[in-house]
Amino acid sequence: MKRTLIRRIIECLVMLAISAALWQLTLIPIASTINKKAPLTLPQNVFVIAAFSVLVILINLYAKKQSYINWKEFFSENATIKWILFGLLATLVLHFLATYVGKIEGVPYLDPNVSTEGQYLVIEFMRTCILSPVTEELVFRRILTKVIFPGNLKVSLLITGLIFTAIHMPVSVGDWVNQLGAAAILSVIYYKTEKVEACILVHSFMNLFLNIILWWII
């Protein structure tokens, strides 16, 4: 039991480290271009997609081996569709709520003054919409819930939801509303379905939605 607990904690730390920083190691072959903030060539863009894809595939293979995830089984069922739709709709509602709270506070939760200049769309997309949802949902909705109060999923999801919010370091009231809301939505989906795959898909949509706003709207 103790060995299993230690292993799961190590798994969480490794996945969070990959999501936060270690993914950059996969881009070493194009580091000189990135450091110069020069535009990526088509082959370099393809390399970025391939590098992230390999990383995500390896994580999924490990998660499947540990029985944390099973995409084939997930896609063969239809019971989770309504909860995925709930997550998509709730994401839109949450955005408007966080925006409204930000206006009241006078600090928008998505700062229009933050520039995407010097960033690479392909890297941000692969990192935030593909890699992070997989690692974060495996950690906060699947693995840690079996470590923290394993006999009480509600309490586990409440605690892991607060940790999830904290590591995203909200900087304003609107941002807190957005992060807490996202944690609540994803926790409800996992509580109702116990399918981390559904949480990953909704989390991906959440981040895609925010990327669209940051890159093309504000």
Closest CA to 156 of 123, 183, 174: 183
Q: What are phi and psi of 66, to 5 degrees?
A: -85, 5
Q: So what's the pLDDT on residue 3?
A: 84
Q: What would the two tokens of residue 18 be?
A: 């990959």
Q: What would the two tokens of residue 190 be?
A: 């996992």
Average pLDDT, 10 consecutive residues per value, the chain (218 residues): 87 96 96 95 98 98 97 93 97 96 90 74 97 98 90 94 95 95 98 97 97 84
Q: So what's the pLDDT on residue 147?
A: 86
Q: What would the two tokens of residue 173 be?
A: 């009231």
Closest CA to 74 of 213, 178, 158, 200: 200
Q: The pTM is what?
A: 0.95
Q: How many CB atoms lie within 10 A of CB 7?
A: 12
Q: So what's the pLDDT on residue 117?
A: 74
| SS3 at position 177 | helix
Give CA angle at 132 (128, 137), nearest 5°: 135
- Host H or E run for residue 83: helix 81-105
Q: How far, in Å, CA of 127 to CA of 133, rounded? A: 9
Q: How many CB atoms lie within 10 A of CB 4?
A: 10
Residues 6+ apart with CB under 8 A from 90: 181, 185
Q: What would the two tokens of residue 99 be?
A: 């925006």
Q: So what's the pLDDT on residue 109?
A: 85
24, 112, 155 from 206: Cα distances, Å: 23, 18, 24
Length of the chain, in residues = 218
Q: How far, in Å, CA of 88 to CA of 45, rounded? A: 29
Q: What would the two tokens of residue 139 be?
A: 């950690």
Q: How far, in Å, CA of 16 to CA of 61, rounded? A: 17
Q: So what's the pLDDT on residue 138?
A: 98
